[in-house]
Structure formats: structure tokens, C-alpha cells
Amino acid sequence: MLALGKLLDLTLAGREPAEKTQLTVDGVRMRWLAEGALEVRPPEVRDNGMDLLLSAGIHGNETAPIELLDRLLHDIARGVVKPRARILFLFGNPAAMRTGGRFVEEDLNRLFNGRHESSSGYEAMRAHELERLATTFFSVPQRTRLHYDLHTAIRGSKIEQFALYPYKQGRTHSLRELGRLRAAGMQAVLLQNKPSIVFSAFTYEQLDVEAFTLELGKARPFGQNEGLNLQSLERRLTHIIEGCEQPEDSIDGLELFRVAREVIKHSDRFILHLPLHVENFAELPKGYVLAEDPGHPRWVIEEAQARIIFPNPKVKNGLRAGIIIEPERAPVLV
């Protein structure tokens, strides 16, 4: 197998490849761009006009998505998968991947859309580099653009595999993309209602990409993801890469949610009244006191059928410590 097909090995070892460009036996060009970044380009006669960005490891301990991208790259390097799409593989936070930690200094996925400019350190520099790599990759006009940023969550989830659909004023959610997510094994989608500072929001808002954060179960160490079934996602990604995907507009069975409120941590005295075993998508009864922060209004559940996702009282002050969501009854789709 070509050395560049072992991008994960290179990244975990902190090594730069001797050869920056290699060709598979089928004429697919693999080009190393930076640490954890590899461009795959099919022969011109096979190029179907799709630009696909696949990112994982924005949090270094989210190993199942990293292993999934590693398998896809191995198959491309061996000639088992024959791309018709142009692909950018990104391992987002190599330093955290090497230590097995979520991050080195601060949460990389809270530093996009220019947020890195008000910070410093390793993750701030990496966010800037990832924005640059994505901007260059998606700079070719008149091509179809898709970005899946693959994650696993700190907590378990009552809905194990779900997606977050970013927001931009004036853009409408795509029925075809929701059907594609359903075919990829997503059980639910959260339709966001304001701009964000995560990686998929950057590509969606700034680069006119159909972009999604995919949550694929609970974070576990490398080699301990046997119980996580990503077959539907892996099959769909292979079909997208090979250009043999069947369009899927049906979203039957796909649960749609919208953001009701975000819980913001204002101070070190913030208290989140949720036990550690409470999972994402856990239902919250009306009247439940979810969180308190002295000097600020309490977060009391007012919504019918409210649920919680991403509860995390350890975030920095000023950041989101959880999202209260509710079912979306009347989505606007095109």
C-alpha cells in the first residue's frame, strides 16, 4: 500500500512523508498538504465534479471517526475504492490525537469563523490552518461541495447517531441532504437557528458548502470501537466517493429537532443539575431546574417535550454548557 495511504500512522508518529505526492495503480493522485491533511484527486476523465471534505479528530479522543477515515484511505491507496470525487481528508487535532486527550489547551471546535483570532496557542493556530486548507480546497468554482465533520460525544446518547445542520440567514435546509444523512445511518438531525463557531459552520457559512457535524456515538480510545456500527455511514461515504450513490429524498423515520435555548456558562459558580449518567437526548420535564449561575436567571424547563444535548459544565466561561432542544414540527425544506 502507498505510504500516503497511512496518513493516520504518519500523524500519530508526528512524521512528514518523504514523498509528498504518490499515484495509485489507477492513476489516483494522493498529495500530502500539511500534518493530518491529504488531498485525493481522481484522474481527470473520472472526475465527476464533487469536492468532498471529510474531517475527524477535531477532538483528539474521538477515535471511531478517525478509524473510519483511515479505512477509507487504505481502500483508496490499495485501489479497492476508486474515487470519482476529489477528497480532502483532515485529521483535525494531531497533537491531541497523540496524547489521547480531547484537546491540548482549548476546544478546537470553538475556534472557527474567526474565533481563533482572539485566542493563541496550538489550537488557535490549527483552527487557522484548517480554515485555510478548507478555503483552498473549496476554491474551484462550479463544483458540488460537501463536508462531513465526524465526531463522537463525551456522553452516551439515547439517539446514538445524529447530525447538526448549521445555520446561515437566507439558506434553506436541503431535503436531498437530509435524505442522504438518513441513508448514512443518522437517526436525527438538529436544525440550528443561529451562526456558530464550529468547523462545519465555517464551511457552511463562509464557503457555501453543504456541511454537517455528525455525532457517531460515545468517545472511546483507539481500538475500542467494536460495538459501534458505522456500516451505513461507511457504505454511503464509499458510494459518494465512487460516484455511484443513489439519490435519497425520503426522510421517513428521521427525527428533526430545533434549538429552543442554549445554556451559557457565565462564571465559575455555574451549576448544571444533571448527573453524569444522563445521556444526550434525555427528556426534561417542565419545571425542571436545569442550571444555575449566581447573578443570572436560572435555566428552568418551559418547553413541552424538551431534551438536552451536549451538557458539559466544564466549558470555559462564556461558552455553551448545553442545548435545550425540542421537536421540529414544520421544517422549511427545498
Asked whether residue 277 is marked as a ligand-binding residue, the answer is no
Asked whether residue 62 is marked as a ligand-binding residue, the answer is yes
89 beta partners: 38, 54
CB atoms within 10 A of CB 38: 25
Characterize 258-284 residue by residue with b for buried, 16 or more Cβ atoms within 10 angstroms of its Cβ, and e for exposed: bbbbbbbbeeeebebebeeebbbbbeb
Closest by CA position to 52, among listed 172, 212, 202: 212
Closest by CA position to 56, among listed 105, 7, 125, 18: 7
Task: Name the residue with cell 471529510.
Answer: 54
**Would you call 212 helix, strand, or coil by DSSP?**
strand
Q: How far apart are CA 176 and CA 146, in angstroms?
A: 12
Q: How far apart are CA 113 and CA 109, in angstroms?
A: 10
| Catalytic residue, candidates 215, 242, 245, 248 | 215
Q: Cell triple for residue 305?
A: 417535550
Q: How far apart are CA 116 and CA 309, in angstroms?
A: 25
Element (H, E) at 41: strand 37-41
CB of 186 within 8 A of CB of 216?
Answer: no
> What are the Cα distances from residue 268, in Å, to 225, 271, 293?
34, 9, 8
Q: How far apart are CA 323 and CA 270, in angstroms?
A: 15
Q: How far apart are CA 171 and CA 192, in angstroms?
A: 12
Q: Cell triple for residue 293?
A: 449561575
- Dihedrals phi, psi of 251, to nearest 5 degrees: -120, 20
Catalytic status, residue 215: yes
Q: How far apart are CA 265 and CA 129, in angstroms?
A: 28
Asked whether residue 59 is marked as a ligand-binding residue, the answer is yes
Give the residue ranges of the annotated binding site for Zn(2+).
59, 62, 151
Active-site annotation, residues: 215
Give the residue ranges of the annotated binding site.
59, 62, 151
